[in-house]
Structure formats: C-alpha cells, structure tokens
A and B are shown apart, each in its own frame.
Chain A
Amino acid sequence: MSFFFQLLINGISLGFLYGLSAMGFVMIFKSSSVLNFAHGELIALGAFFFLALVTWAQLPIAIAFLVTLAGCFALGFLIERIFLRPLIGEPLIYVIMLTVGLAAMFKGLMLLIWGGNLQTYPDFLPGFLTLQWDILNIPPAYSAALILGVTFLTVFGLFFKYSPQGIFMRSVADNQKAALSLGVHVQRVFALSWAIAALVAGMSGVVLGIINGINVHDLSSIGLKVFPVVILGGLDSLSGAIIGGLIIGLLETFTGGYLDPSLRDVIPYLVLVLILMVRPYGLFGLVEIERV
C-alpha cells in the first residue's frame, strides 16, 4: 500500500510539473494559435539562465530568480518581435517549422555554452519545506514546486480576469478580427503572450532543474510531453493544462510502477491518439473543432 501512495505522490508532483510547463504553451496557443515546438528549449533556457546567475554571478537566490524571470520575459518578447511577427497570416506549416527551427537553434546554443552533461544547483531550499507524514515523504523541491505553481496560477488567473492587458489577451483569443476592430493592439498582445509564456516556461525550468538536475536533452524533451497534456486538458484552457498534466503524470508513474517501466514514455502518446479520435477538444477545451 505504501508503494501505491509513494507512486501517487510521485505522480501528482510529476503531473503538476507537466501542468506548469504546459501553462506557457497554452498561453501562446490561446492568444495567437501558434503551436510552439520550442517550448522545451524555452524551459531549458530558463533553467540555465538561473544556473548562470546563481553559480557564475553569485547572486542571492531571490534576486537571481527575479532576474531569470525578467530575462525570460524579454527573450519571449524578442522572439515574437524578430521571428514570429513576419509570419502573421502565413500558413500553419511555416509557423510550426519556424518554432522547430528556433528549437534547434536554442538547443545548439545551449549545448555549445553549457555542454550536454548533467548539472545541479547548489542546495538552497530551506529544510522546513520537507513534509514528513507517517510513511510518506515529500522532498522540499516538490513542495516548493507546489507553492510556486499555485502562486503563478492565482496571479495569472487574476491577471486574465481583471487587468486590462489580460482582458485584451482574452479578447484576441476569442476573436482576433473583432478585437482588432474594437481597438485592441493585437500585435502587442501577441508579444505580451510570448513574453508571459517564456516567463512561465523559465519558471518551470528552474523548478524542474531543482528536482531533476539540469540537462539540455532532458529538459527539452519535456517540450514534447506537453502535447499529450494540452490535448487532454484542452488546447486553450489554462486550468485544463494543470489537470491534464496531473492525469498524464499519474498515468505515467502508475504504468511505470505496475506494468512496465519502458511503457512509461509511450503511454501518454497512446492516450493522445485516443483523445484525438474521441474528443479532440480535450476535457476543458472550447468545442469548436471542425469535423472534416
């Protein structure tokens, strides 16, 4: 029974991380309908940026974290400005391939600077975050992830609900032409959504780096795991991303634990195909897909 509970805890933490990583992805898709294949690389960039600030520049943790977030925000803004703006209105395949090209570029750059080896952050999490509960043991990194995730979810929930920029973003997501004719600066909204998505990606990169260590290949492969998560949760639903992440995470750990460890990596994609065939808009997505 304790094996079951340990798997449950592991699954929930893993799923929560997937959900966090997927949030940024959903944000880009929601406002500009771009499928971002470079998301894993953005996550990895955030992790490495934090690493550089903590180990090379020796900044205090809190400041390093804030600078990382600011840097990712600027990076997302620049990506939209330089690479995606010329492609507004182009067919889907060009936009997809552009993000694939970006992914290759970032990956090459990171490998060039930091190499392909596993690196770790210095230990800085305070001990009281460790939760000991009968036989269950939750490491501090997971509770930190939980706190960060809930904070970000609340902040962005409020941002989308009440702030003018958030309302603009929702309006663009809902209907681009109508938003444009009502005076919303659509291009600024696109830039902002990329910036916020990169920020969230960077944040989840830092958290993932604390838990699993920092490795370019591992972190960028999370970018592919995001697909089953967002399809399950619904491509345009932020809370759906978290719930989809939890389901995929649980599924992965339980198949790994009870069936076959090698099936772990392929089961999310089997689920993905199944969902696409039965309910392509996912659990919480907007039902607008067209039957061909």
Chain B
Amino acid sequence: MKKFHFRPCGNYRETYGQELTVFETDFGRLWTWVGIFILFLILPFLGTPYFLHVLNMIGITSIAALGLNILIGFTGQISLGHGAFIGVGAYSAAVLSTTIGMPFLFNLPLAGLIAALVGMIFGIPSGRLKGLYLTIATLAGQIIIEYVLVHWESVTKGTMGITLPRPAIFGYELSTDRDFFFLIYVSLGLMIFIAINLMRSKFGRAFIAIRDNDRAAEGMGIPIFRYKLLSFGISSFYAGFAGAIWAYYMVSITAEPFNLGLSVEYIAMVIIGGLGSIAGSVYGALFITSLNEILRWLTDILMNMKVFTEAGVNVAPIREFFFGLAIIIFIIFEPRGLAEIWRIIRSGFRLWPFSY
C-alpha cells in the first residue's frame, strides 16, 4: 500500500525527485482536487452575473500576471511594457477574427505567438542593458506600442476600435458569462500547469540562475541573452493569450486601456502576490481586481451620499489613492507578498505549538 504523506515538519528530502515534486504532501494534492471541483462544479452556478464577471476578470488577469511573474519574479528582468503586450494580443485576436476570419480556437494561441514575437523584439535591449536601464527601455517600448496601436489606422482602426464576433467552439457559441467562465478557467489551469512544469525544467532553472547572478549563470554555460529573450517571449505569450481572451470577452476593444497604468497595475499584482511564486500571481490578480471592485463600489456609495454631492467633491480619485497606498504598505511591510503571508500562516499551523 502507498504510504501517505502529511505535514512535513523539517526537511526530509532524500532524493532529487522529492526536491522536484509539485505536491509535497498528499494533503496538498487532495485539496487541489477539492479546489478544482469547487471551482468548476459549484462556483459557476452560484451568484449573480456580476459575481461571475468579476471572477472572469480575475481569471484573465491571473493569466497575464503569471506571464509577468515569469519575467520579473523568475528571470529578474523588470518590464514596464506588459500592458502593451496584452494590447498586442487583444488587437491580434481582433484583427485575425475580423479581417482574416480565422476560427476562434486558432486565434488564442496565434495572438499569444504574435505578442511573443513583439515581446522578443522589445526584449532585444536586454542583451546589452540590465537593471534600471532595461526598465527604461521597456517603458519606451510601452509608449511606442501604444502609439502604434492608436495610429496604425489601416489595421487597428485607430480610436474607433474593433468589434469582435461571438467566439464559437465546434459550433457552440460562447455568449454568457458562464460559458466564458469555463473557457477562462480551463485556460488558466492549463497555463498554471505549463508554468509550474516550465519552472521545474532546464529553462526555468536557467531563468532563476540569471535572476540570482547573471555573471555566474554565464560562467556556468547558460547563454544569457538567448534565455532572456525566451523569457520575454514566454511572458508576452501569456500576456497576448490573456489579451485575446479579454478582447473576446469585452466584445469591442480600443487602445485606451492598454496604457502605462495597466503595466504598473500588473507589476503591483506580481509584487503584492509574491515575486517568483506561481500561486502568488493568482493571489495578486485576485487582490488587485477585488480591490478595484471594492473601491469602485465604495466610491459609488460615497458619490451618492448627500454630504459629498452637495459639497461638489469628486471622490473617484480615492481609488487611485488607495491603490498606491496598498502597493506602499505591501512593499514596506511584506515585500515578498501574499504568497509569503500564506506560507507563514501555513507553517504556523504545521509547527504549532512551537511556531517561532
């Protein structure tokens, strides 16, 4: 009979395989299955369309945040252009499905690939620059892509935007929030699966080596430039994929949302979730999206309150204020993010009564 593993207290790893394992305990595996069950069989049938809409947005942002975490958290290359790459994905999907008329299922990965290509082009400066110089180069990339999206009117229709047809899988048309819920969360599951396994492979470890010490990595025979480009490509693939789903879900797109603010929001997600943690990207997406929704709800309430309407105060900027405050609080008090907080809580239970 198989021996079950529960609650490891200390480091008992003996073989290389144990070090690489995804689920340290059978308990974790069990909870993963329970989580998948709840996610697909219970959650979509609960609640209002609004609740499902928020869940869908969380799923889409999680995919893109995952991509950014591969680049920033695992490879250590800070990019301020992620929002633009999402835009590239969204526009690729829109152009592919309207002017070329490709079927929906091909469009998602294709949009991802196009975004990956663009991402790799803007990753080329990483061959010569690092640290803050690279950050500034990606900032320029963000602004240049934004400009192209607005001004390349023959393809992107400029400020008019593009309206997409309803996507269909094998003749079944996705129209409700619930249909999209299944599409988004199946994709998210797939993307998490790929990311986890990528990080256990040769590539993932090369990324981590580059992040920790690029000179040592080169000394050990890792071709840094090629791996950095690859990391840019993978990260933009995730962004483009998420952007494509986003475009279909939103039905019509313009270049407006894919600005520097979006890139900053994604970096905030990755930091608040936890740099270099796959689960952290999802926590970060969850946190920021819910924070946005809560703040929107709060400002709506405040806006209708008599005191504020009479004083003529516009309370909408409160959102921006609290968004900034959340970033600052996390950076000063827990720079390793929600993933670390969750780890501390878990190990607190595991080591009880001798935690600390």
Contact = CB atoms under 8 A, between A and B. Distances in A.
A276 interface: yes
Which are the 8 A-B pairs with shortest beta-carbon distances?
A: A104-B324, A108-B321, A101-B327, A108-B320, A105-B324, A111-B317, A269-B140, A101-B328
B207 to A, nearest CB: 15
B317 A35 contact: no
B267 A86 contact: no
Interface in A235-278: 262, 265-266, 269-270, 272-273, 276-277
Interface stretch (A92-100, A129-137, A182-190, A205-213): A92-100
Contacts of B141: 273
B94 interface: no
A273 B125 contact: yes
Given A93-B267, A105-B321, A280-B128, 12 more contacts: A35-B136, A96-B135, A98-B327, A104-B324, A108-B323, A112-B317, A231-B133, A265-B143, A266-B144, A269-B144, A276-B128, A292-B129
A292 B227 CA distance: 13
Interface SS majority for chain A: helix
Contact of A108 (B131, B224, B317): B317
Interface of B: 72, 78, 125-133, 135-137, 139-141, 143-144, 147, 151, 214, 224-225, 260, 264, 267-268, 271, 275, 313-328, 331-332, 335
Contacts of B331: 87, 94, 97-98, 101
Contacts, number: 141
A107 B328 CA distance: 14
Nearest to B267: A97
Contact of B133 (A104, A270, A280): A280
Size bracket of the A interface: 35 or more
Given A100-B264, A104-B323, A290-B130, A92 B78 contact: yes
Contacts of A292: 126-130, 214, 224-225
A178 interface: no
B128 A277 contact: yes
A273 B135 CA distance: 11
A83 B328 contact: yes
Contacts of A100: 264, 267-268, 324, 327
Nearest to A228: B140
B18 to A, nearest CB: 30
A105 B329 CA distance: 12
A44 to B, nearest CB: 13
B214 A276 contact: no
A66 interface: no
10 contacts: A35-B136, A97-B267, A101-B268, A108-B323, A110-B317, A111-B317, A116-B314, A269-B140, A280-B128, A292-B224
